[in-house]
Amino acid sequence: MVRLSGIAVCLATLAVAVAPARGKSSPPRCRSVETATVTVACIVQADGSLADCVVVRESAPGCGFAEQAIAGAARARLPPSDTVRPGARVEMTMQFRYQ
């Protein structure tokens, strides 16, 4: 497994545009969440896309961040690399912040 560091920050910025909506329909414990972190693990495809992504860790479960992270990872592309080859399992951590 490869853990993405500098690349992950870049991917998170490109892949996840917004934190999930929150409001009166949000669970009460989620209304006060200002920041959240989600780590996903995915398989690298030949074209650099990520597939079969699953949530490994999340700091605010049930608040919608995991779903946003999975959706963002599905849109992400890794640049060609000698260290991350197709078929490799990679982990990346995405940080969300309400503004």
**Which helix (H) or strand (E) is 36 found in, with range?**
strand 35-44
User: How confident is the model over 36-84, as pLDDT tens digits?
Assistant: 999 999 999 999 999 999 999 999 999 999 999 999 999 888 887 778 8
Q: Write down the pLDDT at residue 37.
A: 93
The pLDDT, as a whole number, for residue 78 is 87
Task: Fill in the amino acid letter for 99.
Answer: Q
Comparing C-alpha atoms, which of 38, 44, 40, 92 is closest to residue 64?
A: 38
Q: What is the average pLDDT across 27-33?
A: 86
Q: What digits encode the pLDDT tens for the residues 5-20? A: 444 444 443 444 457 8
Q: CA separation (Å) from 73 to 25, 30, 53?
A: 26, 22, 7
User: How many Å is the Cα radius of gyration of the chain?
Assistant: 14
Residues found in the chain: 99
d(CA 82, CA 50): 17
DSSP string, 49-79: BEEEEEEEEESSTTSSHHHHHHHHHHH-BPP
